[in-house]
Amino acid sequence: MPTPLVVSDVAKSFTMHLRDGIKLPVVAGVSFSIKAGECTVLGGPSGAGKSSILKMLYGNYAVDEGQIIVKHEGGLVDLAQASPRTVLAIRRQTIGYVSQFLRTVPRVSALDVVAEPLVERGEERETARDKARSLLARLNLPEKLWMLPPATFSGGEQQRVNIARGFITEHPILLLDEPTASLDATNRDVVIGLIAAKKAAGVALLGIFHDHDVREAVADRIIDVTVFAPGKLAA
Amino acid sequence: MTDEPLLRVAALSKFYGSRVGCDNVSFDLWPGEVLAVVGESGSGKTTLLNCLSTRLLPSSGTASYRMRDGQFRELYRMSEAERRFLMRTDWGFVHQNPADGLRMTVSAGANVGERLMAVGDRHYGKIRATAVDWLSRVEIEQDRIDDEPRAFSGGMRQRLQIARNLVTGPRLVFMDEPTGGLDVSVQARLLDLLRGLVTDLGLAAIVVTHDLAVARLLSQRMMVMKDGRVVESGLTDRVLDDPRAPYTQLLVSSILQV
Q: pLDDT tens across A164-218, in order?
A: 999 999 999 999 999 998 899 999 999 999 999 999 999 999 999 988 999 999 9
pLDDT above 70: residue B190: yes
Compute the nearest-CA separation of A126 from chain B (Å). 14
**What is residue A63's three-state secondary structure?**
coil
Put simply, the answer to whether B192 touches A84 (Cβ < 8 Å) is no
Alpha-carbon distance B112 to B132, whole Å? Answer: 9
Alpha-carbon distance A101 to A60, whole Å? Answer: 14
Name the closest residue on chain B to residue A21, using Cα atoms.
B246
Among candidates A61, A88, A106 on the partner chain, residue whose Cβ is nearest the Cβ of B220 = A88
For residues A104-124, give the mean pLDDT: 90
> Do B167 and B112 meet the contact criterion of CB atoms below 8 Å apart?
yes
Q: What is the ipTM of this complex?
A: 0.92
Put simply, the answer to whether A88 touches B235 (Cβ < 8 Å) is yes
Alpha-carbon distance A12 to B217, whole Å? Answer: 27
CA-to-CA separations, A65 to A69, A80, A81, A228, in angstroms, rounded: 13, 8, 10, 13
Mind spelling out the 3-state secondary structure of B106-158?
Answer: CCHHHHHHHHHHHCCCCCHHHHHHHHHHHHHHCCCCHHHCCCCHHHCCHHHHH
> Do B31 and B204 meet the contact criterion of CB atoms below 8 Å apart?
yes
Q: Give the pLDDT band of residue B254 (cuts 50, 70, 90).
A: confident
Name the closest residue on chain B to residue A89, using Cα atoms.
B1
Alpha-carbon distance A52 to A74, whole Å? Answer: 27
Put simply, the answer to whether B241 touches A16 (Cβ < 8 Å) is no
Query: Is B15 in the A-facing interface, judged by CB distances under 8 Å?
Result: no
Give the CA diameter of chain B. Answer: 56
Chain B residues with CB under 8 Å of A55 CB are 241-242
Compute the nearest-CA separation of B250 from chain A (Å). 7
Give the CA diameter of chain A. Answer: 57
Put simply, the answer to whether A61 touches B242 (Cβ < 8 Å) is yes
Mind spelling out the 3-state secondary structure of chain B?
Answer: CCCCCCEEEEEEEEEECCEEEEEEEEEEECCCCEEEEECCCCCCHHHHHHHHCCCCCCCEEEEEEECCCCCEEEHHHCCHHHHHHHHHHCEEEECCCHHHHCCCCCCHHHHHHHHHHHCCCCCHHHHHHHHHHHHHHCCCCHHHCCCCHHHCCHHHHHHHHHHHHHCCCCCEEEEECCCCCCCHHHHHHHHHHHHHHHHHHCCEEEEEECCHHHHHHHCCEEEEEECCEEEEEEEHHHHHHCCCCHHHHHHHHCCCCC
Q: Give the pLDDT band of residue B8 (cuts 50, 70, 90).
A: very high
Put simply, the answer to whether A62 touches B238 (Cβ < 8 Å) is yes
Q: Give the pLDDT band of residue A235 (cuts 50, 70, 90).
A: very low
pLDDT of amino acid A232: 59
Alpha-carbon distance B192 to B168, whole Å? Answer: 21
Name the closest residue on chain A to residue B184, using Cα atoms.
A106
Q: Per this entry, what is the length of chain B?
A: 258
- The neighbouring-strand residues paired with B72 are B66
Q: Give the pLDDT band of residue A234 (cuts 50, 70, 90).
A: very low
Q: CB B177: neighbour CB atoms within 10 A?
A: 20
Alpha-carbon distance A69 to A72, whole Å? Answer: 9
Among candidates A16, A85, A87 on the partner chain, residue whose Cβ is nearest the Cβ of B30 = A85
pLDDT in tens, B225-234: 999 999 999 9
Among candidates A15, A18, A60 on the partner chain, residue whose Cβ is nearest the Cβ of B250 = A18
Among candidates A85, A89, A106 on the partner chain, residue whose Cβ is nearest the Cβ of B192 = A106
Q: Give the pLDDT band of residue B257 (cuts 50, 70, 90).
A: low
Chain A residues with CB under 8 Å of B250 CB are 17-18
pLDDT in tens, A135-146: 999 999 999 999
Among candidates B189, B238, B246 on the partner chain, residue whose Cβ is nearest the Cβ of A59 = B238
Alpha-carbon distance A117 to A167, whole Å? Answer: 10
Put simply, the answer to whether A61 touches B237 (Cβ < 8 Å) is no
pLDDT in tens, B100-121: 999 999 999 999 999 898 888 8
Put simply, the answer to whether A84 touches B220 (Cβ < 8 Å) is yes
